[in-house]
Amino acid sequence: MCNLSEGVYNNGFYDRAKEDLKNLIQSTGWSLSKSMEMLRIPPEEKEHYEKVLKKQY
């Protein structure tokens, strides 16, 4: 996969996971940490989502 295709794929992947996290937090009342655990977000990606979503939750 070329760098451009990989970047587009990764952005879409991260956007989808971000939406899944937001929906899970809103529908269950779980914390961001608990939601990431339930979605099995890899430890190396958790910091990315914490930066993006901590401001909101």
User: Rounded to whole angstroms, how far apart are CA atoms 36 and 50?
Assistant: 9
Largest CA distance in the chain: 39
Q: Which residue has the tokens 């990989």?
A: 6
- pLDDT for residue 27: 97
pLDDT at 37 > cutoff 50: yes
Helices and strands (H, E) in the chain, number of each type: 3, 0
pLDDT at 5 > cutoff 50: no
Where residue 53 falls among pLDDT bands split at 50, 70, 90? confident
- pLDDT for residue 7: 47
- pLDDT for residue 4: 44
For range 29-37, the mean pLDDT: 95
Q: Among residues 56, 35, 57, which one has the least CA distance to residue 46?
A: 35
Q: What is the CB neighbour count within 10 angstroms for residue 21?
A: 22
- pLDDT for residue 2: 53
